[in-house]
Amino acid sequence: MPSQQKKVLFLCTGNSCRSQMAEAWVNALKSTEWEAFSAGIETHGMNPFAISVMAESGVDMTGQYSKNIDELKDQTFDLVVTVCDHAASHCPSLPTSISVKHIPFDDPPALAKDAANETEILVSYRQVRDQIKTFVESSQLSTAVS
C-alpha cells in the first residue's frame, strides 16, 4: 500500500540550523502526514546550538547531518519550503508540479551576533525554534499543497 505521507523539503543556505530544525519538528509532530527532509544550497555542518535547543524541547537531531540539495535530487517532493531569502533567490529550478513556499525565519546566528555569552546566544536559538514549531503546528504546511 503506498504511503499517504507527503514529502516536504526545507531548503536553506547552509543546512545547519533553520532547515534542520524544521525537518526535525515536522518529523516529530507531523510524521503521520509528512516526511520531512532538509538541505542547503551549500553545507555548513550541524549547528550545535540548534541541536541543543531542540533537545531542550525533546527533539533529537543528532542523527541528522548537513546535506547539499544535490544529495536529494532523486527524491520527489510535494512541497519545498525555503526558510531564508538567500535560498529562495538561489533555489534550483524545480518541476512546476512542486509547490514552493517561502517562510523567511529569523537567522539565529545573526540574532545572536551581539550576545555576551552562551545564555544570551541560546535565547536567539530558542526564539527561532519556537517560530518554526508554530509554523509546523499551524495549518500553513498542509494548505501549501493543494
Query: 10-residue block means of pLDDT along the chain (146 residues)?
Result: 79 95 97 95 95 98 95 91 82 73 93 96 98 90 67
Q: Of 54, 79, 84, 122, which one is the catalytic site residue?
A: 84
Beta strands of the chain (E only): which ranges? 6-12, 34-40, 79-82, 99-102
Judged on CB neighbours under 10 Å (0-12, 13-18, 19+), 46 is middle
Question: What pLDDT score does 115 carry?
Answer: 95
Q: Is 17 a residue of the active site?
A: no
Residue recorded with cell 520531512: 36
Q: Is 84 a residue of the active site?
A: yes
Strand partners, 105: none
Q: Which domains are delineated in the chain?
A: 6-140 (3.40.50.2300)
Question: What pLDDT score does 95 carry?
Answer: 66
Whether this model's pTM surpasses 0.85: yes
Instruction: Give the whole-angstrom CA distance, residue 58 versus residue 77.
Output: 27
HEC readout, 65-87: CCCEHHHHCCCCCCEEEECCHHH
Q: Of 8, 11, 12, 128, which one is the catalytic site residue?
A: 12
Q: Of 28, 46, 59, 91, which one is the catalytic site residue?
A: 91
Question: What pLDDT score does 36 carry?
Answer: 96
